[in-house]
Structure 1
């Protein structure tokens, strides 16, 4: 890790944003032909999003557990997320249609949660880790001065009162 990565830092975003959690759950490990296409569908979606930031995608983090993957995604707006999800020219809609048509036996499941975050509605701290999560998807700034405490970080993300 670089000396900069060893310092405390926080994420800064002055506009609203969306946190989108999406994952799959393998319910039957033996049904590989059912869950493997679902697992493989996420890669092309993420590649498309990273190649086209104008779609409103800010970044993502990928995690795995025993039952399957989970992706934390950061988006500029709910409208951008929805537009990507519903666009037949983007990789999500064809994958979603395939899943609904082919996976009816319960061998694999998918889930998602969407959170709309307003300025002042979040707080983040990173200490001794490379750029990660919201700080990698937005602006990473040193957690010093008024940003050194959780209350200070949250207050700094509130819109100016005029």
Structure 2
């Protein structure tokens, strides 16, 4: 378990980055043979991504339930797109398998959202938390002084001229 950072902290990345939210919803839980392969495939993708920072994946967090949510951080949209289209990596075969096995039959739902974040367009605060979400992929600094407020953190993340 990560050490709790007592007090108020903020995470700051240099430059632009991408927040990618992806997941699935188990619409028919009793059809384990329909949704379990997707969980296995996503696990394979994450095992492939974590040791390969050259692919642009910075890290993320997963929550499990009937709806599974993964929040991921990528260096750029181009890196994310390159990974999605790479024939020699895990995603493209998994996507093809999903379309063959599930397609639009409704047993399992999948989704994703992509946010391209520019400097000065995000802020965050973590109070008495271990590094998590963006805090797990970006340097953490104390949120005091100008960084004590959301507006101050937002202004602090804008590029300097």
Q: TM-score, normalised by structure 2?
A: 0.94
Structure 1 portions without partners, runs of 5+: none
Alignment partner, residue 94 of structure 2? 95
Alignment partner, residue 37 of structure 2? 37
Alignment partner, residue 76 of structure 1? 75
Question: Partners of 1:45 and 1:142 in 2: how far apart?
Answer: 33
Question: Partners of 2:41 and 2:6 in 1: how far apart?
Answer: 35
Question: Partners of 1:12 and 1:47 in 2: how far apart?
Answer: 26
Question: Partners of 2:154 and 2:118 in 1: how far apart?
Answer: 11
Q: Give the C-alpha shift of residue 57 in structure 1.
A: 0.7
Q: Give the C-alpha shift of residue 68 in structure 1.
A: 2.8
Alignment partner, residue 121 of structure 1? 121
Q: Give the C-alpha shift of residue 64 in structure 1.
A: 2.0
Task: List per-residue Cα deviations over 1:111-141 (Å, max 9, x = no partner).
Answer: 0000000001001000011001101111111
Measured on the aligned residues, the alpha-carbon RMSD in Å equals 1.3
Question: Partners of 2:43 and 2:133 in 1: how far apart?
Answer: 18
Alignment partner, residue 152 of structure 1? 152
- SS state at 1:15 partner: coil
- SS state at 1:147 partner: helix
Alignment partner, residue 49 of structure 1? 49
Question: Partners of 2:137 and 2:150 in 1: how far apart?
Answer: 20
Q: Give the C-alpha shift of residue 71 in structure 1.
A: 0.2
Question: Partners of 1:90 and 1:147 in 2: how far apart?
Answer: 40
Structure 2 portions without partners, runs of 5+: none
Aligned residues: 159
- SS state at 2:95 partner: helix
Deviant stretches of 4+, over 6 Å: none
Q: TM-score, normalised by structure 1?
A: 0.94
Q: Give the C-alpha shift of residue 14 in structure 1.
A: 2.2
Alignment partner, residue 140 of structure 2? 140
